[in-house]
Amino acid sequence: MKPLISIYKLTKYVKKDKVLFLNYFNKTKLLNNVSFNIYEKEMIGLVGESGSGKSILGNILVNLSSADSGKIYYKNKEFLEYNQRELKKKLQIVFQDPKTVLNLKMTVYQIISEPIVSHKLYKQKAEILDNVKKLMKEVSLKEKYLYKLAEDLNLINLKKLMFARALSLNPEFIVIDELLSQQDSIQLNFTIQLIRKVKKKRNISILLISSNLKLILKLVDRLAVFYKGNLIEIIPKSRFSEMGLHPYTELLFNKTDKDIDDIENYLQLFKVKRKPVENRCVFLDRCTFVQDICYQKKPKFKELEEEHFVSCLLYEDKKEEL
Please pick, from the candidates 299, 302, 308, 309, the single residue that binds ligand SF4 as defined by CB under 6 A. 299
Q: Does 294 bind ligand SF4 (CB under 6 A)?
A: yes
Residues of this chain, 230-249, that bind ligand SF4 according to CB under 6 A? 246-247
- Of residues 129 and 314, the one with the C-beta less far from ligand SF4: 314
Q: Does 225 bind ligand SF4 (CB under 6 A)?
A: no
As measured in angstroms, the least distance from the Cβ of 19 to ligand SF4 is 32
In the chain, the amino acid numbered 308 is H
Q: Name the helix (H) or strand (E) containing 208.
A: strand 205-210
Half-sphere exposure of 172 (CA within 13 A, CB side): 12
Contacts of 193 (CB under 8 A, 6+ apart): none
Which residues partner with 321 through β-bridges? 302
- φ, ψ of residue 216 in degrees (nearest 5): -60, -35
- Residue 129 CB neighbour total at 10 angstroms: 14
Q: Cα–Cα distance between 279 and 282 in angstroms, integer?
A: 8
Q: Does 313 bind ligand SF4 (CB under 6 A)?
A: yes
> Reading across the β-sheet that carries 27-39, which strands appear in turn?
27-39, 3-15, 69-74, 77-78
As measured in angstroms, the least distance from the Cβ of 224 to ligand SF4 is 16
Q: Does 260 bind ligand SF4 (CB under 6 A)?
A: no
- Of residues 180 and 312, the one with the C-beta less far from ligand SF4: 312
In the chain, the amino acid numbered 248 is Y
Site string for ligand SF4, 262-291 (x = CB under 6 A): -------------------x-xx--x-xxx
Could you say which DSSP state residue 107 is in?
A: B
Q: Does 227 bind ligand SF4 (CB under 6 A)?
A: no
Write out the residues near ligand SF4 by the rule CB under 6 A.
246-247, 281, 283-284, 287, 289-291, 294, 299, 312-314
